[in-house]
Amino acid sequence: MFSASALSQLIPDRDVPAVEVSQLSKEFRRREGLHRHRITALKPVSFSIARGECVAILGQNGSGKSTLVRLLSTLLLEDGGAARIFGYDVFREPRRVQRLINRVSAEASFFKRLSAIENLSYAARFYGLRRRDTRAEIPRILERVGFPLDRATGPMEDLSRGMQQKVALARALLTSPVLLLLDEPTTGLDPRSKLEVQDFIREVRRVHDSTVLLCTHDLTEAEELAERVGILHAGELLCLAPAAELKRRYRAETLEEAFFSATGTALEEEEVSG
């Protein structure tokens, strides 16, 4: 893994926010037959995340959560506004940003015939890690995320979803990201795997002082893991505050009720219809 001093050299100003998003917007053009039309994926949104903080963004499918994460991951270019990660411009200085972040998404993104160790090994090289550094580190991290080492040399396609997601977490942790972007990391997992992943996120924050942006449609997960919760609806960030304050603001007993009051619909209903 990267040493703390190496990473601190990359972030000279300790007081700079981990994430600063200002009027960030994104549209996509879609073609239907001969007609092209624009779809607004993200209306101008602004927020910031302090170093070491965990912020959860709640929203149904198609609300713009993944677009936000993909913009911050340097995989999309903005149509308006700006985004900075630890002071670096996401769209003008992507290489510097890439060095500081990693991402875990709902889908397992691996070469499925390759083993967990092979997938982690080549990916670590992309982050400048040497073979002699990762040879011992990869089994150690896999063990830490609760992955059985006797399965580490078999093809990924033979592993369960939960196990694949643990490998995804290990891959992210291997590069010691100071900002972890989690895009529905527990979607589709069984309850036990879900709890293990959530415990691991807590541990990463405690041990590595990582900042976490968690996009989810799991209300309990958001409330338990994050200091602040945002509601993203139809590309618009309706609010971003501690869960208790959201409940007060929307005069709700639960976060689910607060979500309903804010968006006019229940999260589960929107997922089905949307």
User: Measured in whole angstroms, how far is the alpha carbon of residue 18 from the centre of its chain?
Assistant: 14
Of residues 7 through 36, those in contact with another protein by CB under 8 A are 28-29
Give the one residue of 25, 60, 63, 105 binding another protein; rule: CB under 8 A: 105
- Residue 27: closest CA among 71, 59, 60, 61: 71
> Based on CB atoms, which residue is closest to another protein, 11 or 240?
11
Sheet holding 80-85, edge to edge: 35-49, 19-32, 80-85, 88-89
135 binds another protein (CB under 8 A): no
CA–CA gap between residue 98 and residue 159 (Å, rounded): 28
165 binds another protein (CB under 8 A): no
CA–CA gap between residue 167 and residue 145 (Å, rounded): 8
Of residues 59 through 78, those in contact with another protein by CB under 8 A are 70, 73-77
99 binds another protein (CB under 8 A): yes
> Based on CB atoms, which residue is closest to another protein, 73 or 216?
73
User: Which of the stretches 56-64, 121-129, 140-148, 263-271 binds another protein when contact is defined by CB under 8 A?
Assistant: 121-129
186 binds another protein (CB under 8 A): no
User: Which of the stretches 53-61, 105-113, 136-144, 192-200 binds another protein when contact is defined by CB under 8 A?
Assistant: 105-113
CA–CA gap between residue 21 and residue 59 (Å, rounded): 18
Give the one residue of 80, 128, 148, 242 binding another protein; rule: CB under 8 A: 128
Pair 80, 131: CB distance under 8 Å = no
C-alpha distance from residue 61 to each of 32, 66, 125, 165, 269 (Å) = 21, 9, 34, 20, 11
Residues forming contacts to another protein in the complex (CB under 8 A) are 28-29, 70, 73-77, 95, 98-99, 101, 103, 105, 107-114, 118, 121-130, 155, 171
